Amino acid sequence: MLNGKTIMITGGTGSFGKRCCREILARFNPEKVIIFSRDELKQSEMASDPLFASNRIRFFIGDVRDGPRLQRAMAGVDYVIHAAALKQVPAAEYNPHEFIKTNINGAMNVVDAAIETGVQRVIALSTDKAVNPINLYGATKLCSDKIFIAGNSYSGKIDTRFSVVRYGNVIGSRGSVIPIFLKQKEAGRITITKPEMTRFIISIEDGVSFALQSLADMMGGEIFIPKLPSCAIGDLAKAIAPNCPVEIIGLRPGEKLHEALIPADEAHHTTEQEDRFIIHPSNPYWSYKSERYEGEVCKEGFGYNSLDNPHRLNIEALTRLVETFKESESA
């Protein structure tokens, strides 16, 4: 569906954005891929990278906080992948205004600009921290999710549709735990919040593929959630540096011991499929047919969290995962 189309990626110079751009160029024949971000240095570095040597890439400096700039960038765009966000949990606790401006106001600007310019589909990236949030980052992403789902009501006769993908920690993304542990291993000491802490994990390649598949499948209003493995942070540290001394530092401000991707309150309008869950909109004021999706409706009270997840990785599996990550980074 991307052949001959123009796709814009907000936050396009980030870890996800760059990988997504590569995948689109490798797998499809788009008319144009617009990289929208506020960092001119990263755009310059990306433009000079042979991996992105294509006359189909356009670089557009701008910030999702700037609505008029978004409208200018989206002129003639068919699909938008919204990956721009501030996402560091401790930073959000100390800089709440900035996270609100980017993650919430920015989401409103993306919705408004997409409707004004007649974009066909918008898929937004979310996080497990948006489920029953206890930190400001999660709260801003919950608001963002609600804004994108409600955007389907605002489009009126304009056929713009909005959906969301939600998953856990992305291996290798900026600030993710595996690169941090590998760096700490070199220094000879690893710091862990709590060994029993659990997290969902997904590779950046799988995250991109899931987002593109969801973009193809969406009707507008869905939250797509992949079935993911989870692991204990203490086991991950042992897999990376079994002989390193470990310092337990306790939970940081705004951190949960375990994360969830589906809250029990939303189980009754969630469909389970072989490799994913789909949370359907609870009040679709637009044309939406959940029966289009095959699968079983989750039982009332069902929840999908990293602690009770049946797909838990042991130390051996995590060791293989880390080796795969290191090979991909050196390739």
The CA distances from residue 40 to 43, 45, 56, 61, in Å, are 5, 9, 19, 7
Residue 294: which of 223, 193, 217 has the closest Cα?
217
129: annotated active-site residue: yes
The CA distances from residue 165 to 185, 314, 322, in Å, are 33, 27, 25
Specify whether the CB–CB gap between 295 and 252 falls below 8 A: no
Query: C-alpha angle with apex 108: 72 to 176, nearest 5 degrees?
Result: 95
CB atoms within 10 A of CB 73: 23
**Backbone phi, then psi, for 91, in 5-degree steps?**
-65, -35
CB atoms within 10 A of CB 66: 15
| Given the residues 87, 129, 141, 238, the one annotated as active site | 129
- Rounded Cα distance between 7 and 58, Å, is 10
Q: Which residues contact 270 (CB under 8 A, 6 or more apart)?
A: 262, 277, 278, 279, 280, 297, 298, 302
The pair of structure tokens assigned to 164 is 């969301």
- 3-class SS of residue 151: helix
Q: Which residues contact 103 (CB under 8 A, 6 or more apart)?
A: 85, 86, 137, 140, 141, 143, 144
Q: How many helices (H) and strands (E) does the chain have?
A: 11, 17
Helices (H), ranges, the chain: 15-27, 40-48, 67-74, 89-94, 96-99, 106-117, 136-154, 177-187, 204-217, 233-240, 315-330
Instruction: Please give the positions annotated as active site.
Output: 129
